Structure 1
Amino acid sequence: MKKIERLISIVMILLQKKVVSASEFSRLFHVTKRTIQRDMETLNYANIPIYAEHGTNGGYALMEEYKFDKRLLNHKDIENILVALGGFEGLITNQDIKTTIQKIKGMTSLDISPILDVTFYDWPGRSQINEEILFIRQAIEKNWLLTFEYVDQIGNKTDRLVEPYKLHFRELHWYLFGYSIEREDYRTFKLTRILNIQKGGFFVPRTDQEFQHKKQSNEQKKGVNVHLSIDAAVRDQFIERYGKEAVTKESTGNYLATIELPENQYAYQFLAGFGNKVKIIKPESFIAKYVIFLEEAVKLYK
């Protein structure tokens, strides 16, 4: 463990405990008591008010005035923050997030174990996506231009030069929102289609990027109302995704679901994943496009 990491950990521990002995710190970090003493001196030089308490139960303590004012956030507030951070940590393996979680826990002396737990499937490609996310995040913070090859839905590659502005997680996929120099407009890029991403210089951020991101997000939400006959076996999945009001029971024993879907490959793939448990009732135009999608898939096996 590096010294800076040890110093941060010492402060986090003292935020949670009243007094910690030098021996306890020494065992925890596998260093000598003299090293712990030097660490305390370093923290004092940094204006962190740590003092020594003498006696049988003595050790190091942090002045109460320095600790977090518990009137600002109550126990439930801190628990909610930990749930949110824990869920985000499930998406990105990031030391910064782990450190933040420890800081938040240090805001209270209570042992917080959130009653809500968010878990994401740890798919094999997650580690590679994490590396790309960390690189893109650094590019956004430092205003780096990004160069990469982008693969479209049918496999065509194009070279892109992009000003990165936001990373967005939607429908179990990560996206990069940025300004495409070639297209002279804002674009959203799916991370799994980005190849050979590299730093390509610097840029001055555009003032309208926040507005354009909201505009593009709203446009992506637009779709058509699709009426489906769904089997009872998949009812729960539709309720979780679209709400109880979107699903009603029919006299046949099946269920009717009315949902909004975009007319694109993602929607067709989503419905195809239910196999014969879902049938589209209307609109006819959506059915026609979906049938073409299925026929193209069947051709692969002929």
Structure 2
Amino acid sequence: MSVEKSERLVNLTMALLATKRPLRKAEIFTLVQGYDGSAESSDRMFERDKDDLRQLGVPISVVDLEAGMDSGYRIFPDEYGLPALHLTHEESALLAVAADAWKRSGFSGISVNTILKLRGAGVPVLDVIDNRVDIAYKPSWRLVAEAIIARQAISFDYRRRDGQVDVRLLEPYAMHFRAQRWYVVGFDRDRGEIRTFVLSRFLGGLTPQGHEGSFVIPSDFDSSKHLSRDVGVARVFTVVASGGALASLRSRAIESTRQHDGSATLTLRVEDEIEFLFELLTLVPIVEILAPKDARAAVLQMLGASHGS
């Protein structure tokens, strides 16, 4: 299969999977990169691609539109999703490395561009492909995965919930991706217990410690139990943003209302409040928190009275 065709198949799959409504052929030819040439040649190309994807097990559905006068195409996520996978810690870590390879291959960017084109054309899309998430999370992401496989302890600088930074020494047992965040679960040698860490709060200094094979993951270890206990509940934020802050936050908003002055009132669902507050600090004064009130007060306290609101 040529590179051009494989890219086109990825684009087509992502478009049909992300859309909330069936796409007509004309929309597909306009929005999905790779369908060039005349309408006839694009139609033949699409029919071949559709057959190829179905042979690969991709369930493309044909939906009648306008009382049967036209047809649209869509992939329903519940028909395409994988069942629950029960992976070992090594398998999970290897999948993380594989995802990093996907990220670096360029196909991830292709997929994101497809979703952005759909959004730009006003097509409602599902959060199947989340262009807001950098799954690589800098070199630390891959280094943690490799440490899990090698059974090697790691030390790293970590920003706590109160904003303070300290050095942690961890035997990493597992990584999980949940609510748009990567979490690392393992035995904290300094605290003497299993802890959960948000990978995006790793600030650097990640260094292997000791030898490979220096610890054993307990046979009864269940990382999901620790993750469920330690991962907080999402909070809803309302902010007013303009300029660069608006460009940075708008793609993550679940609601957006444009104002006459060019700013926008955004509603965002935030999983990691501390990290989000630190992000907002970098965007002041072109962003203002309206709610929740305690978060607004916390940012004002961090800024100091001289910054006002």
Give the TM-score of the pair, scaled to structure 1.
Answer: 0.47
Higher alpha-carbon Rg: 1
Bigger RCO (CA 8 Å, 6+ sep): 2
Give the TM-score of the pair, scaled to structure 2.
Answer: 0.46
